[in-house]
Amino acid sequence: MHRVKVRVVEDALDANATIAAANRADFDRAGVTVVNLMSAPGAGKTSVLERVLGDLGGIRVGVLEGDVQGSLDADRLASLHIPVTQLNTDGGFGGECHLDANMVRSALPSLPLEDLDLLVVENVGNLVCPAEFRIGEDVRIMVSSIAEGEDKPLKYPLMFRAAELVLVNKIDLLPHVDFDLDRFLHHLDAVHPGVPHMVMSARTGEGLDAFRDWLVELPARVRREVPA
């Protein structure tokens, strides 16, 4: 036996990227725009979706719900009478902390893609790993709740740089927590200059109309950018 050094030079996430591209091709073929919604646990992803997905005009929406375990979130969204598919990640090493392209691919047969204009994939609550794994989405959106603190863009730049839209949720808590919105936005601009944001409260409904309009317009905007 002898040892030889073999040059590899391959991105460790290439395998994921390949499957993500296959997902993307399937989504494009079905004419579905896909949003990857990410946040820390408890930032309000499901609450925001509950408040906006029931009324998207003529846009036919479905949800792929990623969770380590259980179907609590999927059950909440099912009351909106939209297609919701649960994807649990607990088959692996104590439960994966994120969705990857292959997990999403395994869920494709149970999704009614042909009947949808928009698919929202609610990722597992986590501010780190989901930012590393593309799933074939068109757009990545993250929710950051003000209860998490204004320094989060500086601590999790990977996630804040991955997001193409940042939803600043739980703004109704502003009188009760030490959170300086201007300082948060300053940090956000340092980490991801120019990224758009929306300030909202899923609890009171403040600011949700803007996000609902944004979602309604998204499929047409994405299709313009990526001609079929």
* Residues found near other proteins in the complex (CB under 8 A): 1-16, 93, 96-98, 126, 128-129, 132-133, 153-154, 157-158, 161, 189-194
Residue 206 CB, shortest distance to other proteins, in Å, is: 28
CB of 55: closest distance to other proteins in angstroms? 34
- Rounded to the nearest whole angstrom, what is the least distance from the CB of residue 121 to other proteins in the complex? 17
Q: Which is nearer to other proteins, 34 or 101 (CB)?
A: 101
The nearer residue to other proteins, 30 or 129, going by C-beta atoms, is: 129
* Tokens standing for residue 201: 């409260």
* Cβ-based nearer residue to other proteins, 15 or 72: 15
Q: Which class for 61: exposed (0-12), middle (13-18), buried (19 or more C-beta within 10 A)?
A: buried
Phi and psi at residue 73, to the nearest 5°: -70, -40
CB-hemisphere CA count at 13 Å for 26?
A: 20
Report, in Å, the least distance between residue 190 CB and other proteins. Answer: 5
- Burial call 17-45: b when 16+ CB within 10 Å, e when fewer: eebbeebbebbbebebbbbbbbbbeebbb
In the bound state with other proteins, the residue whose beta carbon lies nearer, of 35 and 159, is: 159
